Structure 1
Amino acid sequence: MIILDHPYVSEFLKDTAAELQIPVLKNEMAAGLKTEKGLRLLEEAGFIELIKEKDECLLYSNSENSIGWISENLGFTGLPEKIELFKNKIKFRELLERIYPEFYFQGVEFEKLDEIRVEEIEKPFIIKPAVGFFSLGVHKVSTNKEWDSVLKSIKAEVEEIRELYPVQVLDVGKFIIEGNIEGEEFAVDAYFNNQGKPVVLNIFKHIFSSENDVSDRVYFTSKTVIETHREAVEDLLKEIGKLVELRNFPLHIELRIGEDRRIQPIELNPMRFAGWCTTDIAYFAYGINTYRYFLEQLEPDWKKIFAGKEGKSFCLVLLNRPADLNLKEVKAFDYEKLLSDFEKPMELRTVDHEKYGFFGYMFTETRDNGWSEIERILKSDLKKYITFKG
């Protein structure tokens, strides 16, 4: 069963739901979607009743905007408690204390950020909304001197982003301060099957333009990335599964892996894979339809999937705006110029930048010896593609 919700449903997800004829909750978003085959829409009462009738319900939501509806209507499933445990970063850290007892964190109200004695906190540290999304409001603080400018930035961002998402998705009323997790950053789409076994569907490596960069500009997946880290990721998910009984549960987890191979979770996003349907890159890269794999309880045959994938990376490029760019001054974004700067763009998805605060994203296939195109976009402020008003 699927809940399709704002802000975005890709054509790929919509067509998958129609092709499989999976029951879809009839809400505002789903009712407005057009497909050739037609979605199998169920009114709220029928959707809830069908879940009650099923002993094992496979429920996927593309968006955390649906968390409120799930909390209000599906309390009998036990899902709201599990969602809150993972979505609230403070509760997630409290859960993980049993695995990582030495990890430092504290929660603080937004209104009390001015009272923080930053000199008493070990650095570097990360500060971010306790309930957050898309690296919005995330900052790294390495020195005491940086705190004033970071605090100023947080306050400006809160004013700007407070209206973008419901509080279940992005709540800037409370922040978490936590120790900086060393190592390379990864993001994983996975699910726990009906036996409680974790199944990894894709692993992205998150790369940055500098040490203090915390943006979401580039992620990539490859044969090497998945082969190198899949077993470690599965072991971590098994540990989390021991702490919380998870079955038939899709998730997107972000983590870091240090030089000593120690793996440390950053956050776990419940009920969905990579946000804004960016999980679709698994299909473009490997032929893995992550929605179908979860709903039909399929497991990747990696040996077969990786045939012919040597020397290639499949990149997710998020067209997020630089901090100094006022989106209200943007007249147009030249997507054609952007595409011309890449050897093999696979799919471009544009969004309303004034409404959502970024310009969209694209998938690329990049050869190992053509990595310079990724280095360029990683460091770009995107202004070469922008026409300004006036």
Structure 2
Amino acid sequence: MILIDKPFASDFLLKTIKENNFPIVATAVAKSMIADDSLNWISEKEAIKTIEKQDNYPLYTNSENSISWIEQHLKTSKLPGQIQLFKNKILFRKMVKDHYPNYFFKGIKFEDLKSFDASKLKYPFIIKPAVGFFSLAVHKVDNHGEWKTIIENIDQEIETFKGMYPKEVVDVTDFIIEEFIEGEEYAFDCYFNKNGEPVVLNIMHHIFSSAKDVSDRVYITSKEIIEKHKPKIEAFLQIVGKKAQLTNFPMHVEVRINENGKVQPIEINPLRFGGWCTTGDISYFAYGINSYEHFLYEKTPNWNEILKSRRDKKYNLIVLDNNSGIKESNIKAFNYNLLLKDFEKPLNLRKVDFKKYAVFGFLFTETSINNEDETSEILASNLKKYITIKE
């Protein structure tokens, strides 16, 4: 079953729903987003009855905005509890604490941040909302001298993105302070099948422009990345699955892997793959894997066969967040045609209402394995070359 909510459902996801006749819940929001009466729409009442009758019934959501619907209508199922276990970063840290006993984290109320004495904390550390999304209000604090300024910046950022997402997606009531995890960052989509076994659908290297960068600008996947990290990621997922007793459960996961190969969790996003249908779709663009079908049909990718023809390519997901320093209200237009000319092989471009979401769009590309320039340039770019300012 599919539960659709704002802000976005891709053409690829909708095509998948239509071709497979997957049941899609006829919420008012979903019907307002999708003008196709030929889909297998089922009433909210029927959806609730189906899931309550079978507690591990497979449900996929495209957006965390749907969490409020689940919490409101599926109270007797185990889903609300599982969602909170992962969505709330403090609860998640407590769940895996025995596997990472030396890892420091601390929950703190937003209203207490300004008066909190951070001088005794071990630097560097990360501060972010306990319930968050899309790197909103996430900061790395390298020393005590930065603390006051960063708290002031968080105040301003909260005002900027207030109202963009419901509180189930971004809630700034509580923050988490946690030690900075050393190593390279990776993101991946997966699901747990009816037997509780994890199935990996992609793995992406999340690269940064500097040690201070916490943005979501560039993710890269390739044959080498999959082969190198899949075994250790599967072992990590076995721990998570047993702790949370997961079956028929999709998720998007962010981790760091250090030089010794240890996988350290950053966060887990329940019941969905990457937001805005990004990572769920890149599996198809890169590897021909339809992640939605794989989850709902309990299919496992044949990675040995898939990767034979991906030896000399890498695939990139580029998040065109507005880091220009120019307010959206002062921007007249974004030059997408100029953007596309800067890439070897664009695969898919998704334009976004930047005035509403502070993101210009998402770009999927294919690149030769030895071409580092285009990802390095967009990673460091402030995007001003593509922006036209109002006169």
Counterpart position of 1:310: 311
1:157 aligns with 2:157: yes
1:103 aligns with 2:100: no
- The whole-number CA distance in structure 1 between the counterparts of 2:324 and 2:139 is 12
- The whole-number CA distance in structure 1 between the counterparts of 2:87 and 2:198 is 19
Letter in 2 for 1:327: E
Deviations 1:65-96 (A, max 9, x none): 11111111112220100100100001001111
- The whole-number CA distance in structure 2 between the counterparts of 1:265 and 1:230 is 15
Counterpart position of 1:349: 350
SS at match of 1:182: coil
Counterpart position of 1:12: 12
Alignment of 1:1-390 (within 5 A): 1-34=1-34, 38-54=38-54, 56-278=56-278, 279-322=280-323, 324-390=325-391
Letter in 1 for 2:311: E
Contact 2:189 2:273 in 1 (8 A): yes
Deviations 1:280-329 (A, max 9, x none): 00000000011100000000000111122012110000001116221111
Q: 1:87 to 1:36 in 2, by over 3 A?
A: closer
- The whole-number CA distance in structure 2 between the counterparts of 1:98 and 1:124 is 23
- The whole-number CA distance in structure 1 between the counterparts of 2:115 and 2:34 is 51
SS at match of 1:32: helix
CA positional deviation for 1:109: 1.0
CA positional deviation for 1:365: 0.2
- The whole-number CA distance in structure 2 between the counterparts of 1:324 and 1:93 is 34
- The whole-number CA distance in structure 1 between the counterparts of 2:360 and 2:55 is 42
Letter in 2 for 1:96: V
CA positional deviation for 1:30: 2.1
CA positional deviation for 1:145: 1.2
Q: What is the percentage of aligned positions where both structures have the same residue? A: 48
Deviations 1:43-66 (A, max 9, x none): 111111222344641100011111
Q: 1:31 to 1:66 in 2, by over 3 A?
A: same
Contact 2:24 2:41 in 1 (8 A): yes
TM-score by length of 1: 0.98
Deviations 1:227-263 (A, max 9, x none): 0000100000001122110000000110000011111
- Unaligned runs of 5+ residues in structure 1 are none
TM-score by length of 2: 0.98
SS at match of 1:120: coil
SS at match of 2:91: helix
- The whole-number CA distance in structure 2 between the counterparts of 1:173 and 1:158 is 11
Letter in 1 for 2:169: V
- The whole-number CA distance in structure 2 between the counterparts of 1:356 and 1:165 is 9
Contact 2:114 2:148 in 1 (8 A): no
Cα RMSD between the aligned structures? 1.2
CA positional deviation for 1:172: 1.2
How many residue pairs are counted as aligned between the two chains?
390
Larger mean Cα displacement after TM superposition, 36-45 or 61-70: 36-45
Contact 2:324 2:384 in 1 (8 A): no
Q: 1:121 to 1:361 in 2, by over 3 A?
A: same
- The whole-number CA distance in structure 2 between the counterparts of 1:161 and 1:34 is 26
- The whole-number CA distance in structure 2 between the counterparts of 1:152 and 1:325 is 19
Q: 1:104 to 1:360 in 2, by over 3 A?
A: same
Letter in 2 for 1:118: A
- The whole-number CA distance in structure 2 between the counterparts of 1:343 and 1:367 is 8
- The whole-number CA distance in structure 2 between the counterparts of 1:73 and 1:98 is 33
Q: 1:4 to 1:149 in 2, by over 3 A?
A: same
Deviations 1:318-369 (A, max 9, x none): 0011162211111000000000100100000000001111101110001122
SS at match of 1:332: strand
Letter in 2 for 1:188: F
- Unaligned runs of 5+ residues in structure 2 are none
- The whole-number CA distance in structure 1 between the counterparts of 2:17 and 2:234 is 28
CA positional deviation for 1:98: 1.4
Contact 1:14 1:35 in 2 (8 A): no
